Chain A
Amino acid sequence: MGQTEGNASPLLEVRDLRMHFPVKEGIFLRTGKYNKAVDGVSLHIAPGETLGLVGESGCGKSTLGRCVTRLYNPTGGQILFDGHDITHLKGRELKPLRQDIQMIFQDPMESLNSRHTVGDILSEPFIIHKIGNRKARQKRVLELLEIVGLPARSATRYPFEFSGGQRQRIGIARAIALNPKLIICDEPVSALDVSIQSQIMNLLIDLQKEFNLSYLFIAHDLAVVKHVSDRIAIMYLGKLVEEGPGQTIYEKARHPYTQSLISAIPIPDPRHHLQRQVLVGDVPSPINPPSGCAFHPRCPKVMDECRSNTPRLLPLKEADAEPGQQVSCFLYK
Chain B
Amino acid sequence: MNLRLNPQTIKKLRRFRQIKRGYFSFLVLALFLVLCLFGELLVNDRAIAVKYEGEMYFPTYGAFHPGTDFGLNYQYEVNYRDLKVLFEQQGGDNWVMMPPVPYSPFENDSASGVFRPEAPNFDARHFLGTDSTSRDILARLFYGTRTALIFSLGFMICVYIIGVAIGCAMGFFGGWFDILCQRLIEIWSNIPFLYMVIIVFSVIPAAYSIPIRIAILLIVMVLFSWTSMTYYMRTETYKEKVRDYVAASRVMGASNSRIIFRHILPNVLATLVTFMPFTIVSAVTAITALDFLGFGLPPPTPSLGELLKQGTANLRTAPWIVTSAFTTLVILLTIVTFIGEAIREAFDPKKYTVYR
Taking Cβ atoms with an 8 Å cutoff, the residues of A that contact B are: 29, 66, 69, 71, 94-95, 98-99, 101-103, 105-107, 110-117, 119, 124-125, 128-129, 156, 158, 160-161, 171, 174, 178
Contact = CB atoms under 8 A, between A and B. Distances in A.
Interface stretch (B29-37, B96-104, B242-250, B300-308): B242-250
Given A99-B253, A117-B2, A125-B252, A158 B244 contact: no
Given A105-B247, A156-B2, A113 B252 contact: no
B6 A115 contact: yes
Interface string B1-37: 0101011100000000000000000000000000000
B266 interface: yes
The interface centre, meaning the residue of B7, B245, B250, B258 with most chain A CB atoms within 10 A of its CB, is B245
A110 B251 contact: no
B267 interface: yes
A171 B162 CA distance: 35
B72 interface: no
A98 B254 CA distance: 9
Contacts of B6: 115, 158
A158 B248 contact: no
A124 B251 contact: no
B254 A124 contact: yes
Interface of B: 2, 4, 6-8, 179, 243-245, 247-255, 258, 262-263, 266-267
A230 B245 CA distance: 29
Given A99-B253, A128-B253, A129-B253, A114 B248 contact: no
Contacts of B4: 117, 156
A43 B179 CA distance: 39
Contacts of A116: 262
A94 B253 contact: yes
A105 B244 contact: yes
Contacts of B263: 113
8 contacts: A29-B179, A98-B252, A103-B247, A105-B244, A110-B245, A115-B266, A128-B258, A156-B2
A71 B8 CA distance: 31
B244 A102 contact: no
Nearest to B266: A115
Contacts of A114: 8, 267
Nearest to A120: B1
B347 to A, nearest CB: 14
A301 B212 CA distance: 83
User: A-B pairs with the 3 shortest C-beta distances?
Assistant: A98-B253, A111-B244, A110-B244
Contact of A105 (B8, B179, B248, B267): B248
Task: Name the prevailing secondary structure of the B interface residues.
Answer: helix
A124 B249 contact: yes
A111 B2 contact: no
Given A99-B253, A112-B248, A119-B2, 16 more contacts: A29-B179, A94-B253, A98-B253, A102-B251, A102-B252, A103-B251, A106-B244, A113-B266, A113-B267, A114-B8, A114-B267, A124-B254, A125-B252, A128-B253, A174-B248, A178-B252
A111 B2 CA distance: 22
A279 B248 CA distance: 35
Contacts of A29: 179
Given A156-B2, A158-B6, A111 B245 contact: yes
B2 A98 contact: no
B245 A112 contact: yes
B254 A128 contact: yes
Contacts of B255: 128
B10 to A, nearest CB: 11
A125 to B, nearest CB: 5
Given A107-B244, A111-B244, A113-B263, A124 B252 contact: yes
A95 to B, nearest CB: 5
A29 B178 CA distance: 13
A95 B247 contact: no
A161 B7 CA distance: 9
Nearest to A98: B253
Contact of A101 (B247, B251, B266): B251
A162 to B, nearest CB: 12
A10 B12 CA distance: 52
B102 to A, nearest CB: 51
B253 A103 contact: no
A120 to B, nearest CB: 8
Contacts of A99: 253
A237 to B, nearest CB: 23
The interface centre, meaning the residue of B4, B248, B250 with most chain A CB atoms within 10 A of its CB, is B248
Contacts of B2: 117, 119, 156
Contacts of A71: 247, 250-251
Nearest to A155: B2
A66 B251 CA distance: 9
A117 to B, nearest CB: 7
A113 B243 CA distance: 9
Contact of B253 (A66, A95, A106): A95
B56 to A, nearest CB: 52
A115 B267 contact: yes
Contacts of A156: 2, 4
B110 to A, nearest CB: 60
Contacts of A95: 253
Contacts of A98: 251-253
B258 A111 contact: no
The interface centre, meaning the residue of A29, A125, A161 with most chain B CB atoms within 10 A of its CB, is A125
A110 B263 CA distance: 12
Contacts of B245: 110-113
Contacts of A119: 2
B329 to A, nearest CB: 38
Nearest to B2: A156
B252 to A, nearest CB: 5
Nearest to A174: B248
The interface centre, meaning the residue of A29, A101, A111, A156 with most chain B CB atoms within 10 A of its CB, is A111
A135 B267 CA distance: 27
Contacts of B179: 29
Contacts of A113: 245, 249, 263, 266-267
B349 to A, nearest CB: 12
